Amino acid sequence: MTDAGEWWKNAVIYGVDVSRFCDSNGDGIGDFPGLTERLDHLVRLGVTCIWLLPFHPSTNRDNGYDITDYLQVDPRYGSFDDFLFFLTEAGARGIRVILDLVAQHTSDRHPWFLSARHDARSPFRDYYVWTDHPPAPRPAAARCFRGKRTRPGPMTRWRSSITITASFASSPA
């Protein structure tokens, strides 16, 4: 058995994008109340740690990693109190919570960036890399993999005649 300092060695870590997990209010976007509602389900699956993808306000130009405010919860996912309640309930079930927090990757609307861009003496200026000579733009038609096809037709020999059969059994409520 590992000691408490190495809990992660035997943890069952479940990555959660709050926006896609469970919608509690019917707006089509997952939220903290929905995640909290499903904690018992995660316990039954054996989850001992939840790894939350970014849930802070963002311009969403980089899948939520371009944070505009590290101290808030994106209102689409609930309130800060909803987040705190989720943390409390997860802890009560023995589930640890870790955040995917990338502090060096802010939005161009974050106060640190705005201050640094506005004033060369800003205390946040060194948080970013600045240049007087930006790189030349890439050609619009740049290809990742150079080369040419030697044969016409599909790239693989897989047949596209797949039959999918699904059955859904109702479970007792």
pLDDT digits (tens, 9 = 90+) for 109-162: 999 889 999 999 999 999 888 888 888 887 765 555 555 555 555 544 444 444
For residue 12, what are its two tokens?
Answer: 């069952």
Tally Cβ neighbours within 10 Å of residue 68.
19
| More reliable by pLDDT, 87 or 143 | 87
- What single-letter DSSP state applies at residue 48? -
DSSP state of 25: S
CATH of domain 4-104: 3.30.750.90
Q: What is the pLDDT of residues 7-34, one digit of tens each?
A: 999 999 999 999 999 999 999 999 999 9
Question: Cβ neighbours of residue 113 under 8 Å, at least 6 residues apart?
Answer: 106, 107, 124, 127, 128
Q: Which pTM does this prediction carry?
A: 0.70
- Strands (DSSP E) contained in 19-126 are 49-52, 96-99
Percent share of the chain, pLDDT over 90: 53
Q: What is the rounded CA–CA span in Å between residue 42 and residue 51?
A: 12
* End-to-end C-alpha distance for the chain, whole angstroms: 38
Exposed, middle or buried, 57 (CB in 10 Å: 0-12/13-18/19+)?
buried
pLDDT of residue 170 exceeding 60: no
Query: How many Å apart are CA 88 and CA 16, to the nearest integer?
Result: 17
Query: Does 81 have pLDDT greater than 80?
Result: yes
Tokens of 24: 């509690």
Map out the domains of the chain as residue ranges: 4-104
For residue 128, the model assigns a pLDDT of 86
- Tokens representing residue 124 in the block: 């946040």
Amino acid identity of 89? Answer: E
Contact 84, 44 (CB under 8 A): no
Residue 108: name the closest of 123, 124, 95, 96 by CA: 124
Find tokens 């599909």 and name the residue. 154
